[in-house]
Amino acid sequence: MAQTFPKWTNKIPLVLIFVLVFGSTGAAIVYAYYFSPAYTDVGYRPEQPVPYSHKLHAGDLGMDCRYCHTNVEVSQEANVPPTQTCMNCHTLILPESEKLLPVRESWNSGNPIEWVRVHNLADYVYFDHSAHLQAGVGCSSCHGRVDQMVKVTQVEPLSMAWCLDCHRNPDMHLRDLNTTSVTDMTWQPPANQLEIAARLKKEKNIAPGEDCSICHR
């Protein structure tokens, strides 16, 4: 009796199983990486309305971050400086610069400069800058070497997993504020950092939470 289907069709179920298993695994791997903040967010560097160089101001001129971000140690937000802060210097320094035209227009009109946010957290995430800085976590731990950036670039994913990794093991990010500043971009953990971290955690009662309500309120 003649067969209805050719013999090679017997392999179709095995091929389908192979494609399903390995195809799904491959798709999951691609999704996990290419749709993660490590790929989609790291490297984000938007154009700003004013070509402000952190390398020049914070790096070459040595301006402290807190001159512009005045409330960062006492507020949840790292405030964007008002035009007044820029004009404190630029009424005298390069007052006719073409690059600073948007600053002068903002100063004359009273309308704020529309800076583009670089580090974006989801609306359902609560993050308090002051709590981290008071614990001794410096700016560079999250924002990288901003003092070397002509254009501010996101260097960390700021994902939940990334935050939890630090909450579970913050030791290498805790600075002794008696000997250094949170805004010191050149800071590196000293050889006895683990001893320092153990002392700081005891003195300041530093115990980063991992409960959902810590960040999702």
Q: Rounded to an integer, what distance in angstroms lies between the CA atom of residue 49 and that of residue 102?
A: 7
pLDDT per residue as tens digits for the range 85-118: 999 999 999 999 999 999 999 999 999 999 999 9
pLDDT per residue as tens digits for the range 150-166: 999 999 999 999 999 99
Mean pLDDT over 28-47 rounds to 76
Q: Rounded to an integer, what distance in angstroms lies between the CA atom of residue 72 and that of residue 137?
A: 12
Q: Which pLDDT does position 172 carry in this prediction?
A: 98
Q: Which carries the bigger pLDDT value, residue 24 or residue 148?
A: 148
Q: Which pLDDT does position 31 carry in this prediction?
A: 58
Phi-psi region of 136 (alpha: psi -120 to 50; beta: other; left: phi over 0): left
In the chain, what percentage of residues exceed pLDDT 90?
80
Question: Whose structure tokens read 């949170």?
Answer: 182
Mean pLDDT over 63-91 rounds to 95
In the chain, what percentage of residues exceed pLDDT 70?
92
Size (the chain), residues: 217
Q: Rounded to an integer, what distance in angstroms lies between the CA atom of residue 161 and that of residue 62?
A: 33
Mean pLDDT over 12-27 rounds to 76
Count of C-beta atoms within a 10 Å radius of residue 147: 22
Q: What angle do CA 186, 188, 190 make, to 5 degrees?
A: 140
Mean pLDDT over 55-73 rounds to 96
Measure Cα distances from 65 to 45, 101, 170, 176, 182 in Å: 19, 23, 22, 18, 9
Q: Which pLDDT does position 17 carry in this prediction?
A: 83
**What pTM was estimated for this model as a whole?**
0.82
Q: Which pLDDT does position 186 carry in this prediction?
A: 96
Lowest mean pLDDT among 6-10, 68-72, 213-217: 6-10
SS3 (DSSP) at 38: helix
